[in-house]
Amino acid sequence: MNSLSERPTNPLIAGTLIAGTLDLLSVVTYALLEGKNPLAIPVGIASAIWPGAIKAGAPALVVGVLLHFLIMFVMVAVFLTTARKIPWLTAKPFASGVLYGLLLWAVMNLMVLPLRWPSLFPHITALSFGEQIFSHTVLVGLPIAWMASRATKHRDA
């Protein structure tokens, strides 16, 4: 019988859970460091689809966390789908993870967020830019690329 560590991990689920958790922890940490309420982050995410989320309390918190992971699921699925067509992405996970993280930062901060909240975004300071680039490359792009590369190695073995 194979041990759990020898079984291949579903890269879509693992990538979503790992990158999603790391990303959420990073924004919560940044909020705490800035003296802001970290619970406002998931509630703010929920408000993208639920206008009354700010007044909803715990249900909005849950919806925001679930929506965050749904968005991460899509980000991982896009990478995995693209990696099937471009094998270099899994052959060079460090480079592809950093590049994908940069792409995700650009899409989120220059397109998605400004379209949803035009009065708030883009709002880029040197500090927020550094935090966001770190989070998107190290905590999101690299884990996604690593999980995809790992799955490819298990599949090819």
**pLDDT at 67 > cutoff 60:** yes
> Between 98 and 7, whose confidence is greater?
98
Q: Which two tokens stand for residue 90?
A: 């899994």
pLDDT at 85: 95
pLDDT at 9: 75
pLDDT at 116: 76
pLDDT at 86: 96
pLDDT at 109: 86
Question: What global pTM score does this model have?
Answer: 0.88
d(CA 11, CA 1): 22
pLDDT at 1: 43
Any alpha helices (H) in the chain, and if so which ranges?
Answer: 11-33, 40-46, 58-85, 88-91, 93-107, 113-116, 126-134, 142-156
Nearest to 111 by CA among 124, 122, 100: 122
Distance of CA 110 to the CA centre of its chain: 16
Q: What is the pLDDT of residues 92-150, one digit of tens each?
A: 999 999 999 999 999 998 888 888 777 777 778 898 899 999 999 999 999 999 999 98
Q: What is the pLDDT of residues 74-83, one digit of tens each?
A: 999 999 999 9
Q: What is the pLDDT of residues 25-42, one digit of tens each?
A: 999 999 999 999 999 999
d(CA 30, CA 141): 19
